[in-house]
Amino acid sequence: MGGAKLAIAVLAAGLLAGCSGGYTWGWYVVSPWGPKGQSNILFLLSGLGWTVAVALCAIAASVVLGLLVALLGLAPSRIARTASWIYVEMLRSIPMLVMVLWVFYGLPVVMDIRLDVFGAGVIALALCDSAFEAEIFRGGIQSIDRGQHEASNSLGLSYLDKMRFIILPQAIRRILPPLGNQFVYMLKTSSLVSVIGLAELTRKANELVVTEYRPLEIYSFLILEYLALILIVSWGVRRIERRMAAADYRPA
Amino acid sequence: MSNTANGAPIIEIERLNKWFGDLHVLRDIDLRVRHGEKIVICGPSGSGKSTLIRCVNRLERHQRGRIVVDGIELNDEMKHLAAIRSEVGMVFQSFNLFPHLTVLDNVSLAPRRVRRMPAADAEALAMQLLERVRIPEQAHKYPSQLSGGQQQRVAIARSLAMRPKIMLFDEPTSALDPEMINEVLEVMEGLALDGMTMLCVTHEMGFARRVADTMVFMDRGEIVEAAAPEAFFSRPATERCRLFLSQILSH
């Protein structure tokens, strides 16, 4: 975790450099050694559950959606491929913040449904991310040697069986790093859901800023929260990757 | 070995033509393969011999002409395609084993998924075939843990697990170290003895002499000569074939 120490040192140095200006810091608002700071920290950390939940649900939905779109894009039918292409091009050109706002305010009207902020957040993040997941899956699937397709075809395996038993299991190992990356990215972009009022980390920080009027200290703490969260997740992703790489075969 | 081949054709190829873009890779190919016949196809690289056998299970689609395999014509109807592919086994130059599956799963997957065989039966069948190619002790290893010759024998067992009527071999020993070639050829000769219909693209002329009923020489997309091995090797009819044989046999 040398990277983590370095990152924290850089951040601390930046903050200290700021001290030399005219600003008077009020770290007491997030200090773990004072009663005020303690209750504020607990308040800020209470957003953690929503941040993790919205990111997990969104990434799960987006992986499934992205895989379907990628399989459509690689299907023999030209109509399926065109549909997949249009989906990817459209969704990756919509800014995430715009998507969050549109899904929350627009979708319930269009589809005549009720959406809470959590549902709207998950849908918006998943839709935007699925276009990128589809491209990741497509790249991974296409990187599998043509001989694997030919061997599967020559045995008479159906298209779906070939994908399920031969191509995807090999592709998954190759796309795990970009998938992990995408999950980290999702954890960060989940902060956009704060604008529609989901009480996740960023929203909590915003709320505290309004009452404490100490934005610099509180947002600095917010950065540390994301930093810690993402370092832990990156570490977990790398562990899974290593375990998969150590699995008892080398791709031929 | 012509005694194992009887009269009825199992593959009929008529005036087959294929292009890759502007490149005319197969020109007016006519070939009839009888039940149990062993055909060895040779020729210089780029002569279209691999493309020809890949057309038989439609890994390549032809543009003109007719291919009938076991009474079914190859066309764009997917139902026919699946039926033909399950009757025709193929062994590739680069093995193309599934690297993420054990040897046993490589062999038993297709019977389970395509033939709907219960897992226990499929595994018993796989073990039986691994005995036949003489590597039952490798069943639980992964392909990368095997030598090239062992991998190719697993690939043969994998094809046989579908109980095919026809086996296609696309240069099965070309990617192997010399000391491993014989173990693969021995397995192929055993198959030939059992009466399998075989189309082999290979440069192993010793194997061809021992096994082939018919030798086919291809050059520039055409079948230049087709003859029984004795005649083919001792009295090639064309200059092109003579030249090719002199080059390949001088090794």
Half-sphere exposure of B82 (CA within 13 A, CB side): 11
Q: Is A188 exposed, middle or buried (0-12, 13-18, 19+ CB in 10 A)?
A: middle
Which residues of chain A are within 8 Å of residue B107 when distances are taken between CB atoms?
none
Does the beta carbon of B169 lie under 8 angstroms from any beta carbon of chain A? Answer: no
Instruction: Report the C-alpha gap between A41 and A36 in whole angstroms.
Output: 9
What is the structure's pLDDT at A14?
Answer: 63
What is the structure's pLDDT at A98?
Answer: 96
Domain A58-198 maps to which CATH number in 3.30.70.120, 3.30.565.10, 1.10.3720.10, 2.170.130.30?
Answer: 1.10.3720.10
Q: How far apart are the first and last CA of chain A?
A: 33
Alpha helix (H) residue ranges in chain A: 2-19, 35-45, 48-73, 78-91, 96-101, 107-111, 117-142, 146-155, 159-161, 168-189, 201-212, 215-245
Does the beta carbon of B127 lie under 8 angstroms from any beta carbon of chain A? Answer: no
Question: Can you tell me the mean pLDDT for A67-83?
Answer: 92
Q: Does pLDDT of A6 surpass 90?
A: no
Q: Does pLDDT of A146 surpass 60?
A: yes
pLDDT single digits (tens) B131-156 = 999 999 999 999 999 999 999 999 99
Lowest mean pLDDT among A45-59, A150-164, B77-91, B200-214: B77-91
Among A148, A158, A248, the residue with its CB nearest the CB of B96 is A148
Q: Which two tokens stand for residue B202?
A: 């290979």
- Give, in degrees to the nearest 5, the angle at Cα B36 between B30 and B40: 55
Lowest mean pLDDT among A53-57, A242-246, B64-68, B224-228: A242-246
What is the structure's pLDDT at A113?
Answer: 87
DSSP letter for A164, please: I
Instruction: Report the C-alpha gap between B8 and A138 in whole angstroms.
Output: 46
Does the beta carbon of A111 lie under 8 angstroms from any beta carbon of chain B? Answer: no
Does the beta carbon of B158 lie under 8 angstroms from any beta carbon of chain A? Answer: yes
Are A155 and B143 an interchain contact pair (Cβ–Cβ within 8 Å)? no
Residue with more model confidence, B105 or A32:
B105
Q: Does pLDDT of B34 surpass 80?
A: yes
Which residues of chain A are within 8 Å of residue B92 when distances are taken between CB atoms?
147, 150-151
Residue with more model confidence, A248 or A156:
A156
What is the structure's pLDDT at A251?
Answer: 45
Are A170 and B59 an interchain contact pair (Cβ–Cβ within 8 Å)? no
Residues in chain A: 252
Domains of chain A: which residue ranges? 29-47+203-236, 58-198
What is the structure's pLDDT at A103?
Answer: 95
Among A153, A166, A252, the residue with its CB nearest the CB of B144 is A252
Q: Which of B54, B70, B100 to mutate to test the interface with A (most CBs of A within 10 A)?
A: B100
What is the structure's pLDDT at A173?
Answer: 86
Question: Can you tell me the mean pLDDT for B71-85?
Answer: 83
Name the residue in chain B with its Cα closest to that of A168: B100
Are A249 and B99 an interchain contact pair (Cβ–Cβ within 8 Å)? yes
Does the beta carbon of B59 lie under 8 angstroms from any beta carbon of chain A? Answer: yes
What is the structure's pLDDT at A3?
Answer: 61
Name beta bridge partners: B33: B11
Among B109, B142, B162, the residue with its CB nearest the CB of A248 is B142
Question: Can you tell me the mean pLDDT for A118-135?
Answer: 96
Are A169 and B114 an interchain contact pair (Cβ–Cβ within 8 Å)? no
Instruction: Report the C-alpha gap between B165 and B152 in whole angstroms.
Output: 19
Which residues of chain A are within 8 Å of residue B96 when distances are taken between CB atoms?
145, 147-148, 150-151
| Band of pLDDT at residue B2, cut at 50, 70 and 90 | very low
Q: Which of A145, A152, A155 to mutate to test the interface with B (most CBs of B within 10 A)?
A: A155
pLDDT single digits (tens) B216-245 = 999 999 999 999 999 999 999 999 999 999
- Residue B169 host element (H or E): strand B166-170
Are A154 and B88 an interchain contact pair (Cβ–Cβ within 8 Å)? yes
> What ipTM describes this predicted complex?
0.92
Instruction: Report the C-alpha gap between B193 and B213 in whole angstroms.
Output: 12
Region of B225 (left: φ > 0; alpha: ψ -120 to 50; beta: rest) is beta
CA distances to A42, A56, A196, A236 from A240, in Å: 31, 17, 34, 6
| Segment 221-240 of chain B within 8 Å of chain A by CB | none
Percent of chain B with pLDDT over 70: 96
Question: Can you tell me the mean pLDDT for A60-85?
Answer: 93
Q: Does pLDDT of A190 surpass 60?
A: yes
Which residues of chain A are within 8 Å of residue B162 when distances are taken between CB atoms?
155-156
Among A155, A161, A251, the residue with its CB nearest the CB of B162 is A155
What is the structure's pLDDT at A252?
Answer: 40
Question: Can you tell me the mean pLDDT for B83-95?
Answer: 93
Question: Can you tell me the mean pLDDT for B59-80?
Answer: 88
| Band of pLDDT at residue A164, cut at 50, 70 and 90 | very high
Lowest mean pLDDT among A79-88, B4-13, B39-48: B4-13
Domains and CATH numbers, chain B: 2-249 (3.40.50.300)
Among B82, B142, B158, the residue with its CB nearest the CB of A249 is B142
What is the structure's pLDDT at B8?
Answer: 78
pTM across the whole model: 0.81
Name the average pLDDT for chain A. Answer: 89
Name the average pLDDT for chain B. Answer: 93
